[in-house]
Amino acid sequence: MTTIRMVDPAQVTGKTRAVFEAVLRREEKVFGATAVSNIWRCQGHVADYVEANWERSRALMQRGRFTPLQRELIATAVSVANACTY
Amino acid sequence: MRLGLDEVGVTELMAVTEHARAMSTTAAGLLLERLDDDAGLVTPVAGDSENEEVGALLAEIRAAVPPALGRREVPALWRILARNPRSTWRKEQVVMREGALGARDKRRVALGVAMSVRARYMVEYHAAIVRVAGDTETDLLEILGVVDHYTTLNTLSEGMQIESDIVPPA
């Protein structure tokens, strides 16, 4: 049971909308998503926050020398080590 | 998981993850904090162990580990574990070798896990190996960046009890 309402991408405007659109473009490309994933929707209640995390995600996960797979391997291992099932 | 890995690749990834996590616990449990530490909770075996099996195991470790780490000595962790049967060393060999995933990528994963569980000894250990293999400071920061960002996402996911909506490909 989630402890917070997932922000509806159809209802957002401004900064949050721009972030959600960028997230969806990214997630479509990476794993064929058809909707913004919950991990981003849950942050959408505070526009500056979701924007800051998205910018950091792009900086840390989409730029650099490693391939997306190499980064995803580490990400999955860390999530397992943190006992995170999402 | 959405890695595009087959079942062998996923099993290898999980093996590296649990092994790196277990070794982090082992190093901490032995009160080994820095890679330079020469003793912990248990005394390492001496280089000239009379026990034939232990001696042979130590020789095998000595041939493999110091060159990979770029150091002269076998770290205390392995000299302590050499007291036991070959189990941990054998597993290290099997889990960390080149397979569906590359050996260097596996070592980067292990480093990320050690960072994530704040196991200083194992951070130093795995970092030494990837550095000898050619990883730069920028590479180390890139690994830490992934750890950092996923610590964020994991915390949000747990704190908000987010339900998984990542559907595996059909």
pLDDT score of A1 more than 70: no
The stretch B129-135 carries a mean pLDDT of: 98
Continuous H helices in chain A: 14-31, 38-41, 47-61, 68-81
What is the structure's pLDDT at A44?
Answer: 93
Among B36-40, B50-54, B55-59, B143-147, which is the least confidently predicted range?
B50-54
* Cβ separation B117–A2 shorter than 8 A: no
Band the pLDDT of A53: cuts 50, 70, 90: very high
| Residues of chain B found within 8 Å of residue A3, distances taken between Cβ atoms | 159-161
| Residues of chain A found within 8 Å of residue B119, distances taken between Cβ atoms | none
What is the structure's pLDDT at A47?
Answer: 92
B84: DSSP letter: S
Q: Which tens digit of pLDDT belongs to each residue from A27-36?
A: 998 888 899 9
What is the structure's pLDDT at B48?
Answer: 66
* Cβ separation B154–A82 shorter than 8 A: yes
A45: DSSP letter: T
On whether the CB atoms of residues B149 and A57 are closer than 8 A, the answer is yes
Handedness of CA B19, A73, B101, B103 (dihedral sign): negative
What is the pLDDT of chain A when averaged over all its residues?
Answer: 90
**Closest by CA position to B27, among listed B110, B134, B138:** B110
pLDDT score of B31 more than 90: yes
What is the structure's pLDDT at B23?
Answer: 95
What is the structure's pLDDT at A78?
Answer: 93
* Cβ separation B13–A76 shorter than 8 A: yes
What is the structure's pLDDT at B68?
Answer: 96
- Say which of B14, B146, B152 has its CB closest to residue A71: B146
Ramachandran angles phi, psi of A33, nearest 5° = -65, 150
Minimal CA separation from A83 to chain B, in Å: 8
What is the structure's pLDDT at B109?
Answer: 98
Band the pLDDT of B169: cuts 50, 70, 90: low
On whether the CB atoms of residues B25 and B105 are closer than 8 A, the answer is no
How many other C-beta atoms can be found within 10 angstroms of the C-beta atom of residue B160? Answer: 19
Q: Which tens digit of pLDDT belongs to each residue from B49-81?
A: 678 888 889 999 999 999 999 999 999 999 999
The stretch A35-57 carries a mean pLDDT of: 93
| Residues of chain B found within 8 Å of residue A43, distances taken between Cβ atoms | 156
